[in-house]
Structure 1
Amino acid sequence: MVHTERGSRISTPDQAKSNRVLRTYSSVEPVREEEFVFLEYCEPEDERGQQLPDELRVTDSMISKEVKVPKRTDTEVRHKALEMQLQSLKHMTEEEPNTDSLIEFHDIGFPTEETTKKKKKAKKQQKIFGTPDSEVPFSDTCCSGCGAVMHCTDPNIPGYLPSEKYKSLTEEDKLKKATCQRCFLLVHHQKALNVTMTKEEYRNIVGRIQSEKALVLKIVDLLDIPHSIIPDLLELVGKNKQIVILGNKVDLIPGDSENYLQRIKRQLARYCSDVGIPVNDLKNIHLISAKTGYGIENLITSLQMSWKYKGDVYLVGTANAGKSTLFNTLLESDYCKSRASDVIHKATISPWPGTTLNLLKFPIINPTPYRMFRRAERLKQAALQTEEDLGPQELKRIQQFSKQGYLVGRIGRTFRVNPSPKKNIVEFDPDSLSFGEDFEENSRSIYEPSPEAELTYNEIKDAHWFYDTPGIMKEHDVLSFLNEQEVKLVVPTHAITPRTFVLKPGMVLFLGGLARIDYVEGNNSCWFSVIASSRVPVHITSLEKAEALYQKHAGKNLLGVPVGGEERMREFPPLVSQDFELQGQGYTTAIADIKLSSAGWVAVTGVEGDRLLLRAHAPEAGGLCLRSPPLLPHIVNIKGERIRKSPTYKTKKPQTVLDSKLSQDGKRQKMRGKK
């Protein structure tokens, strides 16, 4: 949503007059001078937030002091109670007693306003359930969700379980099927606990690949290139490794031209070559969506034909690139042994970086000629299916992902027959449920691995394994200084709808409170296309008002992110400016992208030959940079009509593309219906 300075939505006159006016402003008129009036924005007043006298005002610090009660011994508790009694007696001698204060009320089921504030404050804190026991040694079992070693010693160390739960599971010999407290809270409550694991520990775990014969799958977040490309990958995994590049989250990127996927693939290959990752053939680069399944079947076929069964396969990449999601997708595909998905627990996925803390694995199926033949037959039959031939669950899956991404694929199983009966549970998608969407739309019924099922010795004695490794933390990343609520707002989980604005020199674009771009100098108007989560608001103002507006509204409703008002902004890092000098290339081609790591980018389009001076502001650790050439050079064309007397264009969402064969069959069905 785009706000005016008053914070109200922009409305249009009656329909006939609106159509006539919009036709006038939809054309490109860089020479035309227009006056934009920026009125003062006022935050909506809260009637309950009236000012109280200082002696009656309850501050956040007072509430936090009451909520944060440290654990004390019995002696300390008694001493503290005596001190409080002495203070109260001393206070009573100085003031006259109030008869109303001598009455104690117990409103059962009706909490007072003070207790309600305390509870709200307590929700912001990370509660550790159960009690730790430092005398119990670490186990030899890893968490089936994140791979950390299970223990009950310290809640700040990965793999923690409360001692009560840890001891009972150990006695019942069920610890190997359990997940740690952190994974449980991530999946079921969308709460991220702080754990201690340094960057060196991450790299040491991934560095074990150096001494092994292995295939390396390097997964790259296409929304965050080149930041999501590990610059010293060969040093980390070894120089004698075969590397396949996977460009993930392609389903979230809007298509700006007919052959945009091939252009993205070539640009990804260039970025990899720039950091020393050899890309000898574009066939070793796959654009996929681990979430919607686009490109996964082609990836499996390519791996089975090229790498075959030569050794283990390691999936590496930066944090939040989608490794765990791809691990779960391949676990339920033809790349995994047919019975392994009945035994192995899925990896924990969440929008917070660094979810996987150790190696997770499943056994790879041996692609014998007979199995390859059967798989090819299944893929041919699947290509001939129409929408009417699909089962209700598969059709519902395609419809659901069509709302969330631009590219949707289908993944099937060839060798899984008569799966063992298992407990039917509901799997939650934390990326969606955490934003308050409907339960039925974002949850799906799956099968949980049976606790009794196990792989036999003969099934795994000579097996090769597929490993999901911990994410390498990026040097500069916006997510590093955002809290849980802000991360969920910034990380896009649905198809991005581009938002385009036309700015004159002396105007400023705010990307929430995370960054701002000043159009300092230029001869004509230029266009700014924002590719970022729709939950991050965009605000346009003048250069004269920009600084005052940021000081007044950062952390509040107008700028959206960060969240928490003045108290949050005290600890939020200051914005640091960078100047960029660009030269326009025409109305339909962007010059470059001004990019903020993990938060998206703004594509700048200017009049051909026009010199532009832009000043971008962002936190120093946010990874602000200029990306040239732009990833989507023609994105300025994906916009609607110009909104009257504003710098804003209406949004226009590109069409979702399903499996090519399925789309063709859908058109044939429509033609048959017409006949």
Structure 2
Amino acid sequence: MSETLRCIGCGSVIQTDAPGEIGYTPKSALEKGLAAGEVYCQRCFRLRHYNDIQDISLTDDDFLRLLNSIGETEALIVNVVDIFDFNGSLIPGLHRFVGANPVLLVGNKVDILPKSLKRSKLIHWMKEQAREAGLKPVDVCLTSAKRKHEMAELLEVIESHRDGRDVIVVGVTNVGKSTLINSIIDTVSGVRDVITTSQFPGTTLDKIEIPLEDGHYLIDTPGIIHRHQMAHYLGKKDMRIIAPTKEIKPKVYQLHSGQTLFLGGLARFDYLRGEKSSFVAYVSNDVSIHRTKLANADAFYDKHVGGLLQPPREAERESFPELVRFEFSIKEKTDIVFAGLGWITVTEPGIVAGWAPKGVTVVRRRALI
């Protein structure tokens, strides 16, 4: 295959080795495309024929190039984050790249949080967390890409802030950005009948431009890899286990000091010192939690990881990173957050430790719920 063979939809160099990366197309599709004289990457093909935008991954160089281009274009920046993994889905340093452009922060997957959590409190919390990360959004809104009525509300908010500018949608991988974009396309197509597959112009390498009625564009960008997310170390089957698809059910544990909770084989929570108290785990309903004595925890993990403690699976046990320990002194109600997996709420003062695969962050924050 010629190195200069490019997708006629977006201009990316065609490659058949790395699904999920820029320019990928299956070999069988490439052969058909060459025979027809029209070679598209898989992403552009699915967009043209199914109105389906697929996320793709960026290299670190692509990441920097994309961020630098954001500040050079006058636009409203729509930063999509996963509410369930808020800390893990913020784009590192985004505030340094947006220039004078306003940022609208969109919290996706609101439907998986307990209904007892009021939206007003969640929005206030998101604003605080964003400011701590150096980001000053002009507005914060909540949505679920699966609910069409919420797309109409999101479009109204976007319209109120864009002031006749383009709209650039950014987000790390696994925040549901592509589902959100596809839902917007379906919403607009169904209501106004203004967007069809033939109206999507190909652009360069990594962006897809969706025309708006006033001649400006809604610009989709590839998902940015956040290397401190749990998802970076898991395959698709395990991602289905740890990524909630419906409202999570909090799991309450009464722990004495010297007890440990394992979140599958992916993470570990130690209660080191304090009075007997309640701890609440907020993880996917499919993640199994096992309690054991702290004194036996290391041996228990070594014996059962890949078996009783899954994920990871037995076949992935050897390649899975070792767990690294983070210790915290807790003085008030606090969440211990395992990036990309969930969190455990500590309700009383004490000393705790969180363990996660090497490279995945464990942080504390003021309790969300």
> Into which bin does the TM-score normalised by the smaller protein fall?
0.7 to 0.9
2:360 paired residue number: 622
For 1:275, give the aligned amino acid: A
- Report the 3-state secondary structure (helix = DSSP H, G, I; strand = E; otherwise coil) of the residue aligned with 2:181: helix
Change (3 A) 1:468 1:181: closer
2:320 paired residue number: 572
- Picking from 482, 488, 502, the partner of 2:240 is 488
Q: Which runs of 5+ in 2 are unaligned?
A: none
1:318 paired residue number: 172
* Mapping of residues 545-560 of structure 1, within 5 Å: 545-556=296-307, 558-560=308-310
Structure 1 residue 613, shift from structure 2 partner: 1.5
* Mapping of residues 354-369 of structure 1, within 5 Å: 358-366=206-214
2:6 paired residue number: 139
Structure 1 residue 294, shift from structure 2 partner: 5.5
- Report the 3-state secondary structure (helix = DSSP H, G, I; strand = E; otherwise coil) of the residue aligned with 2:131: helix
- Picking from 145, 168, 182, the partner of 2:32 is 168
For 1:279, give the aligned amino acid: P
Structure 1 residue 150, shift from structure 2 partner: 5.7
- Report the 3-state secondary structure (helix = DSSP H, G, I; strand = E; otherwise coil) of the residue aligned with 2:313: coil
Change (3 A) 1:307 1:498: same
- Picking from 332, 346, 366, the partner of 2:186 is 332
2:157 paired residue number: 302
* Mapping of residues 59-208 of structure 1, within 5 Å: 134-135=1-2, 137-142=4-9, 149=12, 151=14, 154-156=16-18, 158-162=22-26, 165-175=29-39, 179=42, 197-208=58-69
The answer to whether structure 1 residue 230 and structure 2 residue 84 are counterparts is no
* Mapping of residues 424-439 of structure 1, within 5 Å: none
Change (3 A) 1:154 1:561: closer
Change (3 A) 1:171 1:574: closer
2:330 paired residue number: 582
1:417 paired residue number: none
Alpha-carbon distance in structure 2 between the residues aligned to 1:514 and 1:148: 39
- Report the 3-state secondary structure (helix = DSSP H, G, I; strand = E; otherwise coil) of the residue aligned with 1:209: helix
For 2:292, give the aligned amino acid: T
Alpha-carbon distance in structure 2 between the residues aligned to 1:546 and 1:148: 52
Alpha-carbon distance in structure 2 between the residues aligned to 1:618 and 1:182: 38
Alpha-carbon distance in structure 2 between the residues aligned to 1:313 and 1:476: 27
Provide the alpha-carbon RMSD of the alignment.
Answer: 2.9
Structure 1 residue 141, shift from structure 2 partner: 1.5
Alpha-carbon distance in structure 1 between the residues aligned to 2:303 and 2:11: 44
Alpha-carbon distance in structure 2 between the residues aligned to 1:616 and 1:540: 14
* Mapping of residues 421-500 of structure 1, within 5 Å: 463-500=215-252
* Mapping of residues 257-296 of structure 1, within 5 Å: 257=117, 260-279=118-137, 284-293=139-148, 295-296=150-151
For 1:502, give the aligned amino acid: Q
TM-score normalised by structure 2 residue count: 0.87
For 1:561, give the aligned amino acid: P
| Cα deviation code 1:108-150 (max 9, x no counterpart) | xxxxxxxxxxxxxxxxxxxxxxxxxx237312523xxxx6726
Structure 1 residue 305, shift from structure 2 partner: 3.5
Structure 1 residue 217, shift from structure 2 partner: 0.6
Structure 1 residue 616, shift from structure 2 partner: 2.0
- Report the 3-state secondary structure (helix = DSSP H, G, I; strand = E; otherwise coil) of the residue aligned with 1:303: helix
Alpha-carbon distance in structure 2 between the residues aligned to 1:244 and 1:295: 16
Structure 1 residue 243, shift from structure 2 partner: 1.4
Instruction: Check the 8 A contact 2:249/2:285 in 1, yes or no.
Output: yes
* Mapping of residues 405-416 of structure 1, within 5 Å: none
Structure 1 residue 291, shift from structure 2 partner: 1.8
TM-score normalised by structure 1 residue count: 0.49
1:538 paired residue number: 289
1:396 paired residue number: none
2:312 paired residue number: 562
Structure 1 residue 164, shift from structure 2 partner: 5.5
Instruction: Check the 8 A contact 1:577/1:616 in 2, yes or no.
Output: yes
Change (3 A) 1:161 1:334: closer
Alpha-carbon distance in structure 2 between the residues aligned to 1:221 and 1:515: 20
Change (3 A) 1:321 1:522: same
Alpha-carbon distance in structure 2 between the residues aligned to 1:480 and 1:235: 24
Alpha-carbon distance in structure 2 between the residues aligned to 1:271 and 1:302: 21
| Cα deviation code 1:170-212 (max 9, x no counterpart) | 4435545x7269979xx9xxxx9xx985222133134322222
1:52 paired residue number: none
Q: Which runs of 5+ in 1 are unaligned?
A: 1-133, 346-356, 367-462, 585-590, 633-675
The structure that is strand-richer by fraction is 2
Matched pairs, number? 356
1:408 paired residue number: none
Change (3 A) 1:148 1:514: farther
**Which of these two proteins has the greater Rg computed from alpha carbons?**
1
| Cα deviation code 1:215-272 (max 9, x no counterpart) | 11111111112222223113333x1102111111111111335xx2111111111121
| Cα deviation code 1:296-315 (max 9, x no counterpart) | 2222223333424x221100
- Report the 3-state secondary structure (helix = DSSP H, G, I; strand = E; otherwise coil) of the residue aligned with 2:353: strand
Change (3 A) 1:138 1:253: same
1:444 paired residue number: none
Structure 1 residue 324, shift from structure 2 partner: 0.7
For 1:602, give the aligned amino acid: I
1:130 paired residue number: none
| Cα deviation code 1:297-345 (max 9, x no counterpart) | 222223333424x221100121111111111011122389623235368
| Cα deviation code 1:639-658 (max 9, x no counterpart) | xxxxxxxxxxxxxxxxxxxx
- Report the 3-state secondary structure (helix = DSSP H, G, I; strand = E; otherwise coil) of the residue aligned with 2:66: helix
- Report the 3-state secondary structure (helix = DSSP H, G, I; strand = E; otherwise coil) of the residue aligned with 1:340: coil
Change (3 A) 1:181 1:361: closer
2:109 paired residue number: 249
For 1:544, give the aligned amino acid: A
Alpha-carbon distance in structure 2 between the residues aligned to 1:577 and 1:504: 20
In terms of mean alpha carbon deviation, does 225-234 or 531-540 score higher?
225-234
Alpha-carbon distance in structure 1 between the residues aligned to 2:58 and 2:336: 32
